[in-house]
Every structure is written in structure tokens, then in C-alpha cells.
Amino acid sequence: MILPRPQKARTRIALAGAALSALLLLLLGVGARTTVRELTFRDIDEELRTLAIAVGSDFEMEGLGYQESLAKGLEANVFEFRLQHHSAILFDGKRALTISGDLVRGSRSFSVAPYKGRPEDAYTAVEPYSGQRRICRFLVLHLGGKAVGATLVIFRSIEPALKALARLDRTLAGLVLIGFVGTAAILAFVLDRALRPVERVTRLAESVEASDLSRRVRVSSGGEEFQRLTNVINSLLERLQGAFQAQRRLVADAAHELKTPIAVLLGEAQDALRPETAREERRRSLETIERTARGLAREAENLLSLARADTAPAPPSEVVDFGVIAERSVEASRGLAALRDVQIDLFRENGARVRGDPAALYRLATNLVSNAAVYSDPGTSVEVVSGTRGGEVFLEVRDRGPGVPEIDRSRIFERFVRLDTARARHPEGSGLGLAIVQQVASTHGGHVEVEERSGGGAIFRAVLPAA
């Protein structure tokens, strides 16, 4: 039967650690048991050999005529070496000449066949003499000297030693089981305490909703690793909160900015559809509808451009002359500037090369130049300067408009942000032009600055890394 795999990682870790601990204890137990067994049998074998040599040497020197030498030899060596519970059989050829010991006293049938030709090494076997079939350790000694041809067999029961080894086996098995359970319990306790910060993070993540991302994880314990995890989660929540707030603000601003042109479209369409509307008024309404629709299309394109830049990878880049792009932007904005009675002067420096997307860089330059033309006072001039400075390429657009208060100089690059003075001078705008400028500059590794122009107006400066 295949046991189900635990679902919780802490349970799997605890079981795996306990299994490894049990395996280690098992290996140590097997090693200890093997060592104890070898030491026990070595002591028994030394007893057998000591006794066999002591008794056998008497027969080899005195001969087999004195049959009581076996019993006396055993008794003497028991007294001298404290070797007890041994039994012995002395064979003269095939005949059992004499016996001694508790395990052979009740038997009358002895055969030398099991011992004939056996090497003089201790071995384990079941004794067949007492009727109890005890497990014994045997040692066979083939005598020489005056007892040549005789065989001395000495053996003793090892069942007490085997029972002691069995008790040791049970003890070691119990220790392995206790080690497994104890290790599993300790690991489960330690992991439960160690993973409490993860539980808090999990519960918070489960409870977080898009409508409320203000909650944060608070972890006071768990170590540096969990503190880093907490910081990462909180940072992620902060970014998500900022992104959702920006999205909601974008939707609200877009809806607000679309209300005016949609109202214009609806009003002019209603005027054009009235039967009593004169042909000239109908034509003006249609022109207004066309102009407003073009403005909506332009703002929709701006929104799509921002959205694509937010999600799409950076387009293939190439080395371009920023001065050439500035010149093209100035030429494209001269018509708008003429309508506002604003002159545009270009001062370009050759060799101002940057690496980037030419279309995006052209949009950056055009937005800056056209904004300056729209917001500058009639009868003034806009200066457009491009060049290099300190390993960077810059584009400066200097206008003679209302300027930008210092407190608003970072806010004007946000989407749909328009200052009151900008709305008064150019009500058709949407507040996306400078957001696109900021995004393009950031995508190319640069930034945009704004400062006050001496004599009135503002200076917008886009700074990019030189190629």
C-alpha cells in the first residue's frame, strides 16, 4: 500500500529529518551490535582455546591412560582461569574415551564423525548430547605427542550470550524508534516556530484585496532570511498599491479629460442636426467635430504609446544624431508656432549621438518643442539647443510661458496632470505630453529636468547617455 504524500512542507521535512536520524541510529546500532557480538564471541573463543590447550597439553605429555585427567583438568582450569559451564569429550580414534561436563553426562552415544578433519577454529552449532539442543560454541583440538590420534572437543552453551544480544537488539530497536519519533517531534516543533513568519505572510497574502493594499507584514522573529522575505513582500505590496492607485487615477483622469471633448462632440452634432441650423453654422459645427475628433485620436494614440511602453520590451536601438532629431522636431512645430505668433530658434551641435529608438526620441523632442510653442506668449521666441556635456547628450527647450512653480516641477510629468495656467492657455490639452517625455527619457537611461528661465518662462532639459 502506498502511503499518501504529506501536503505540508513542514511535515515532509520533519519526516525526512526523522528518517535520516533513524537511519543514522540504525547504522550506529548495527555497528554497536556487531562490535558487542564480536567481543563476546572473542572472549568465549579465548576461554575455549585456553581450556583446550591446558587440558590437551596434559594428555600430550602423560598419554591417554589416565582418563580422569579430563575431569581434573577441567576442574583445575575452572579454578585457575574461572572458566565455568564447559563440557569436554576425549575421543581415542572413533571411541569416546572419557567425557566431562553437564551437557554430556546424560548421553551415551558419542561419535567423532562431526569433528573429524575439522580445523582447530571455534564454531557455533547445536549440541546433540543433553537432549535440550542448546546452541553452543565448539572448539576441536587434534592432539599429538603421547596422545597422537586423539581428538579433544570442548564446548559451552552460548544461549545466555545470545539472549543478552537479543535484549541488546530490542534495546537498539527501541532507541531507533524513540529517536525517530523524538526527532520528528523536535523538528515539527522547531519548524512550526521557524515558519510562523511564513504563515503570517501567507495569511496576509490570502486576505489582501485589490481594493485594500495598505496592510503590511510585521515579523519580529525568524532571523535575517525571514526579515528579508518580509521586506520583499512589503515592497511588492507597496508597488502593487502604487500601481493600482496609478491605474485608478489614470482611469479617473481619462474619464474627466474625455468628458469635455465628448460634450463638445455631442453639442455640435446636435446643433448640426437641427433643421433650422444655417449652412454656415452647420459647417462650423462639423469643423469643430472634426477638430475635436482629431484631438481625441491624438490623445488615444498618446495613451496607447504610454501603455505600450509600460508593457512592451524596449524596441531595437540604433545610434542617431540627437541634433538631427531636434531639427526635425523644430520643423514639425513651426506651423503651430506661427499660429501663436511664436518664433523658434534652433542651436544644434554636431556629434550629439545617442543610442535609442528614433521614433520615441522624435516624440520626446516634438512634445517639448510643441509644448513650448503653445504655452509661450505671442511675439516671443523659443530657443531649442542640442549638444553634449560631460559624456551626456542634452536637448534644452527654453520658452517664454508662465513657467513652472518649484513645487509642481516633479508633478507635471505625471499622466493627466495639468496646472491651472496650462489649462487657461491651452484647454484642449490632456496632460500626457510631458508624461511621454519622461517615459521616453527613462527608457533610454536618462532624465528630464525643468528650471526657471531668466526673464520669465521655463527651461525643459532632456539628458541622455551619449553613444
Domain enclosing residue 91, as ranges: 9-164
Instruction: For helices 196-207 and 159-194, give the axis angle rounded to 10 degrees.
Output: 40
HEC profile of 314-360 = CCCCEEEEHHHHHHHHHHHHHHHHHHCCCEEEEEECCCCEEEECHHH
16 shares its domain with 109: yes
278 shares its domain with 336: no
List all residues 6 or more positions away from 67 whose beta carbon is below 8 Å from its beta carbon: 90, 97, 98
114 shares its domain with 228: no
On the question of pLDDT at 310 being above 80, the answer is no
On the question of pLDDT at 453 being above 80, the answer is yes
467 confidence band (pLDDT: 50, 70, 90)? confident
Using the 3D structure, point to which of 263, 284, 312 is the last residue of a domain: 312
Using the 3D structure, point to which of 164, 197, 221 is the last residue of a domain: 164
346 confidence band (pLDDT: 50, 70, 90)? very high
36 shares its domain with 134: yes
155 shares its domain with 29: yes
283 shares its domain with 324: no
Mean pLDDT (the chain) is 80
- Structure confidence at residue 65 (pLDDT): 65
282 shares its domain with 415: no
374 shares its domain with 288: no
- Structure confidence at residue 449 (pLDDT): 92
Q: 372 vs 66, which has greater pLDDT?
A: 372
Please, are residues 59 and 143 in contact by the beta-carbon 8 Å criterion?
yes
76 confidence band (pLDDT: 50, 70, 90)? low
On the question of pLDDT at 82 being above 50, the answer is no
When divided into structural domains, the chain yields a total of 3
- Structure confidence at residue 79 (pLDDT): 41
329 shares its domain with 450: yes
pTM value is 0.48
425 shares its domain with 354: yes
